[in-house]
Amino acid sequence: MESGETDTPEVQIASFRAIVRGRVQGIGFRYFVRSRAEELELCGTVRNLTNGIVEVEAAGHRPQLDRLIEHLHEGPGLASVQSVEVDWEITVTAGGGFRITY
């Protein structure tokens, strides 16, 4: 092995910003998202926007992010998700856990 090389495979981190529309405020949606994101070991934030939309920013391994997006489409029991728009980005910083912001 050359100097500076490791036998550890490179880890690919991805991130996205999602906008969730429907009946997604006032029913525990943010707590649902945080719980699922923590189970998937993702980092990021979830927050309510003033127009009734929930915004999710998440970073981590792509398979776990894909699973979180599936959860966003489902929501908790009282949710009625109409749409989830996902923009894959490289701007969400990995690290620091998953937080609800206000």
Positions marked catalytic: 30, 48
Dihedral sign (CA 28, 39, 11, 43): positive
CA distance 91 to 3: 31
Class of residue 20 by CB neighbours under 10 A (exposed 0-12, middle 13-18, buried 19+)? buried
Class of residue 32 by CB neighbours under 10 A (exposed 0-12, middle 13-18, buried 19+)? buried
SS3 57: strand
